[in-house]
């Protein structure tokens, strides 16, 4: 009996001690992911245009990735890539409606299975079935040969006064709840914890005058946040003439309602308000950092700040995202924590799928074999005993949703950004040398055929993009047809009420005929 008790006690104590050891050695993990945050604002010279004290805090005490990209420049597919660690074409997260299935295994699931106390708050937005009918239909009908005007014209809107701090009240509510969870739950746990906070800011607000199905085209802020912007540094982007635009960029400009005239004052106002919204998002990051510091948890917590995509803010005669230009595809990525280097800037291109294996390695959990990304710890850790799987030095982004009339694929490698469309034949490719052309105004694909050939071969070794484009095309037709016939007699009424061309009501029969022809496969 004594022997059995001794064995039982030894087994219990051994496991308890191992658990305590793991909990002490494994750091906490906090990720704050904003929406539509231009990554170039997280380092100079972009950071000079607006005061972002907490991003600067992470930059000084942690590592900043200077070339971090979304794997798809739109909300749901981007977040699906981050949560699954897989490229969009592997999960078939084609648009804001079609993303991950509810039972997909996220890195947060694995943390919980391996002893972490976990909490997810705010904007998640990575499973199928969300967003409006309008968003779904616009994505499905991008091959139909008539123009869809999705958004209202971008505008800026001033609210409140110098005492108005909480403009995006829902985000502040979620931030307050996250801070309280840190103070009152995580601080008293004997487990390591992982917290995710998703913000809506600085995503533009819905334009209420366009009705409940309208998209976000209002850049809204208060005098308080505008005071954080260095207005003399707010630039007016250079635009190509409409006739010189790539056909896909031309289509996007039209569908985003940006083809009309804009004054210099309008453009600078939209950009200044966007930067002010970034400052408000930065303050929410600060609330989380303060809660960690006050709870004496910061020294053993890895803090990650990133975003699902960027915001063009009138660059390339567009706002919003849905583009492979830097304003849309370049996201912030800053990482601070125990054992990680301080005041480090990493030039190597990385992307959001890299966060999955990075988080697992931070938590000392074996990575899954099917992941598209690579752990970033070899690039930022003080320790040399880190994963042997080195990052390949290129990143892939792809887009298959609305406001763009062809599936798009971007490969970033070294100084080059290579963009192809659809089957790679029907639309011309683009090649930008970002070391010389930061504004991405000069397509040099014909000037450097050897570079194009090398990048084309690399891209096709990563993804059979003509086949993926064909798969998306078939999905669009089947999904739209299923939705249409499911509406029955209500179809004409529902589709006429969506955000279509201004002549839709007058031309409803012509548009229905065009869709019918498309569904029957003759387009």
Catalytic site positions: 75
Buried b (16+ CB within 10 A) or exposed e, 163-199: eeebbbeebbebbeebbebbbeebeeeebbbbbbbbb
Provide the token pair at 243. 């006739």
* Cα-based torsion angle of the residue sequence 32, 35, 36, 42 in order, rounded to the nearest 10 degrees: -10
> Using CB atoms within 10 A of its CB, is residue 433 exposed (0-12), middle (13-18) or buried (19+)?
middle
DSSP label at residue 433: E
Helix (H) or strand (E) holding 411: strand 408-413
Is the previous residue joined to 38 through a cis bond, with omega within 30 degrees of 0? no
Provide the token pair at 318. 């567009």
Report how far residue 11's alpha carbon sits from residue 28's, in angstroms, rounded to the nearest whole number.
27
Give the bridge partners for 399, in sequence order.
Answer: 408
* Cα-based torsion angle of the residue sequence 434, 438, 442, 443 in order, rounded to the nearest 10 degrees: 40
Cβ–Cβ < 8 Å for 419, 404:
no
Cβ–Cβ < 8 Å for 315, 238:
no
Give the bridge partners for 409, in sequence order.
Answer: 398, 420
DSSP label at residue 152: P
Provide the token pair at 282. 């930065």
Q: Note the Cα 497 to chain centre separation in Å.
A: 29
The SS3 call for residue 502 is coil
Provide the token pair at 502. 């201004």
Report how far residue 427's alpha carbon sits from residue 413's, in angstroms, rounded to the nearest whole number.
22
The SS3 call for residue 408 is strand
Provide the token pair at 60. 């000084």
Cβ–Cβ < 8 Å for 90, 396:
no
The alpha carbon dihedral of 214, 215, 220, 225 has a sign of positive
């Amino acid at each position: 009996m004594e022997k059995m008790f001794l064995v039982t006690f030894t087994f219990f104590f051994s496991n308890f001690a191992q658990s305590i050891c793991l909990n002490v050695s494994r750091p906490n993990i906090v990720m704050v992911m904003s929406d539509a945050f231009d990554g170039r604002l997280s380092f100079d010279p972009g950071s000079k245009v607006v005061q972002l004290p907490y991003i600067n805090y992470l930059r000084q005490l942690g590592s900043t990735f200077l070339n971090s990209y979304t794997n798809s420049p739109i909300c749901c597919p981007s977040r699906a890539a981050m949560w699954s660690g897989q490229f969009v074409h592997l999960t078939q997260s084609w648009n804001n409606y079609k993303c991950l299935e509810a039972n997909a295994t996220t890195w947060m699931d694995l943390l919980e299975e391996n002893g972490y106390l976990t909490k997810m708050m705010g904007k998640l937005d990575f499973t199928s079935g969300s967003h409006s009918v309008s968003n779904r239909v616009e994505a499905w009908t991008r091959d139909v040969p008539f123009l869809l005007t999705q958004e209202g014209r971008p505008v800026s809107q001033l609210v409140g006064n110098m005492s108005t701090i909480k403009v995006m009240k829902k985000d502040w509510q979620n931030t307050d709840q996250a801070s309280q969870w840190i103070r009152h739950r995580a601080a008293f746990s004997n487990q390591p914890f992982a917290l995710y906070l998703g913000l809506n800011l600085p995503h533009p607000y819905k334009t209420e005058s366009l009705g409940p199905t309208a998209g976000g085209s209002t850049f809204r802020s208060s005098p308080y946040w505008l005071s954080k912007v260095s207005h003399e540094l707010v630039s007016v982007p250079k635009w190509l003439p409409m006739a010189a635009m790539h056909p896909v960029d031309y289509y996007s400009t039209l569908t985003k309602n940006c083809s009309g005239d804009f004054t210099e004052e309008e453009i600078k106002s939209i950009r200044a308000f966007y930067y002010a919204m970034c400052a408000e998002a930065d303050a929410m990051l600060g609330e989380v950092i303060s809660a960690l510091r006050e709870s004496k948890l910061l020294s053993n917590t890895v803090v990650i700040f990133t975003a699902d995509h960027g915001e063009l803010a009138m660059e390339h005669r567009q706002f919003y995202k849905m583009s492979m230009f830097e304003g849309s595809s370049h996201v912030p990525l800053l990482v601070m924590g125990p054992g990680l280097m301080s005041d480090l800037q990493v030039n190597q291109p990385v992307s959001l799928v890299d966060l999955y294996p990075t988080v697992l390695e931070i938590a000392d959990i074996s990575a899954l074999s099917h992941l598209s990304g690579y752990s970033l710890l070899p690039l930022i850790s003080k320790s040399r005993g880190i994963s042997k799987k080195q990052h390949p030095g290129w990143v892939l982004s792809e887009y298959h949703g609305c406001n763009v009339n062809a599936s798009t694929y971007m490969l970033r490698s070294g100084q080059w950004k290579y963009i192809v469309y659809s089957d790679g034949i029907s639309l011309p490719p683009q090649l930008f040398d970002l070391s010389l052309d930061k504004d991405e105004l000069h397509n040099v694909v014909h000037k450097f055929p050897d570079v194009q050939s090398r990048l084309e071969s690399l891209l096709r070794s990563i993804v059979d993009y003509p086949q993926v484009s064909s798969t998306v095309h078939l999905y669009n037709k089947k999904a739209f047809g299923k939705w249409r016939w499911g509406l029955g007699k209500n179809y004409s009424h529902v589709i006429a009420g969506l955000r279509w061309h201004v002549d839709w009501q007058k031309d409803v029969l012509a548009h229905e005929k065009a869709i019918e022809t498309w569904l029957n496969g003759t387009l």
